[in-house]
A and B are shown apart, each in its own frame.
Chain A
């Protein structure tokens, strides 16, 4: 079977074609680098994605701190992870890189803050 992919690893967005039979991959063509092949392999077996969102911050100069996953999570768990992200409220100050949820849902990825939110002066 042939399937077309758009690689999402980098902005090149290579068009990659994979030939496979069941779970056995016969041929991958079109990726400019090895990461593209790896992406397609994963896409055919267990697709994973990174996500970015925000968590609430109390007492900060901003009401939100942006967060992201540190590793890709299974695609079908995205909305479950979002539920966990929505539960979090941090107290300012928040620092970029600060772990917000460790190993979210035991999926092998942390949720980390990607923005500094200093304390509000008031």
Chain B
């Protein structure tokens, strides 16, 4: 059944069925799963695009599910997410490689830990785990240093930006509405609906989903579900030049401790290598600065595993923060996905969704959708289309495909970003993206332009000019990534 009849008011609906707070990978997966039903869905995102926070600031690894305590949501949803990732990648047209990964050990204790990890993995249902000797390890990853390893065949890597964007775009194509620059500052319950203050708007909705990531504690408090303690685990990363990718066919991890996976080296779907993360406990969830000390430490630690790190190959560094729910003793807890009818009816509260959130996002989305559907029994959305088409990348085409693409659209023959070989056609599609994102970084995440070794030295000015022209913006309006991140103070003349 259609929940309510609505009127359009100034682009906003008078009342939504569901407001999803937070448009990260989890919020977008939830929106997509909800859009399988005939519901009016709005996603409230405080940033100017999806994946500006944790969803875009991580290792990009699709985990196997062996690392989490048996019986936890983390274990269950991760294994479930891993299993369906090939289908998902195909549906969403996203870069994904099931390349496997190794946990590399040297000592007797390491071996015991790996054996325990294998056992736990088997209980969790994570398939494709095996112990391999030094010879096999070096056959798989010649450059690695270690005596033996646990191989997880089913682990993989995904482009976390494109993945999140794809989920969001597919949700939007199936009817979910995305509102950017809409930070939720207050939630009021009135009779049978919630009134959410988001940005300068008041949003009325019957259901609320808290998938606010780093903001989950705050939103939970606004819903009246208090008492969750969220701490940030901040990790820094260094990105290496694409020429290093050939030396790393799969992610290489050390043997994990109970709570921390350790500094690892990961290949990316684009052939770069990333080193990281450390894990510093932080309370400021907006500070993404990277310290010299940490960068030095990362390179040093990772070199023990993979001695191919040269400073000349650094192209960028970044950091990400995982929201961890901890108990009063500081012990990290499982994902919490709950409905607390007595406090906040028609609200689904997600707390502490950290790693493996990227892998588990779609199963989480399904879980949330079934919680809502179990209560409301909404009609199926017959028009739901799980398929989303990404921007066709010139650099990934065969030469024959390139020729055809240029013939159909000459903009494919005009390369704007030389390092990543991104054509004007791709940039234009990214500027006119389905979510209506208009930042420079929005183009970067969607095309990989400006991500190469020159870091936009060649193409950034062409891209800002195209954004101005295509979207009719003034120079002062061009925004790099977030509110206030202007690029220019004006014209010279």
The interface on chain B, measured as residues whose beta carbon lies within 8 A of the other chain's beta carbons, has a size of 3
Closest chain-B Cβ to A88's Cβ sits at a distance in Å of 9
Chain A residue at minimum C-beta to C-beta distance from B493: A56
Q: Does B331 contact A (CB under 8 A)?
A: no
1/0 contact trace for A61-102 toward B, CB 8 Å? 001100000000000000000000010010000000000000
Closest chain-A Cβ to B249's Cβ sits at a distance in Å of 47
Chain A residue at minimum C-beta to C-beta distance from B491: A63
1/0 contact trace for A29-70 toward B, CB 8 Å? 000000000000000000000000011100000011000000
Residues of chain A within 8 A (CB-CB) of B491 are 63
Category for how many chain A residues contact B: under 10
Give the distance in Å from the alpha carbon of A56 to the alpha carbon of B492 in the complex. Answer: 9
Residues of chain A within 8 A (CB-CB) of B493 are 54-56, 63-64, 86, 89
Closest chain-A Cβ to B165's Cβ sits at a distance in Å of 33
Closest chain-A Cβ to B129's Cβ sits at a distance in Å of 60
Give the distance in Å from the alpha carbon of A68 to the alpha carbon of B492 in the complex. Answer: 16
Closest chain-B Cβ to A101's Cβ sits at a distance in Å of 14
Give the distance in Å from the alpha carbon of A79 to the alpha carbon of B491 in the complex. Answer: 19
Residues of chain B within 8 A (CB-CB) of A56 are 493
Give the distance in Å from the alpha carbon of A63 to the alpha carbon of B491 in the complex. Answer: 10
Chain B residue at minimum C-beta to C-beta distance from A63: B493
1/0 contact trace for B449-493 toward A, CB 8 Å? 000000000000000000000000000000000000000000111
Chain B residue at minimum C-beta to C-beta distance from A65: B493
Closest chain-A Cβ to B469's Cβ sits at a distance in Å of 12
Closest chain-B Cβ to A74's Cβ sits at a distance in Å of 24
Give the distance in Å from the alpha carbon of A55 to the alpha carbon of B491 in the complex. Answer: 12
Residues of chain B within 8 A (CB-CB) of A63 are 491, 493
Residues of chain A within 8 A (CB-CB) of B492 are 54, 64
Closest chain-A Cβ to B486's Cβ sits at a distance in Å of 19
10 pairs of residues in contact across A and B, judged by CB atoms under 8 Å: A54-B492, A54-B493, A55-B493, A56-B493, A63-B491, A63-B493, A64-B492, A64-B493, A86-B493, A89-B493
The 6 closest A-B pairs by CB, nearest first: A56-B493, A64-B493, A54-B493, A54-B492, A55-B493, A64-B492
List chain B positions with a Cβ less than 8 A from chain A.
491-493
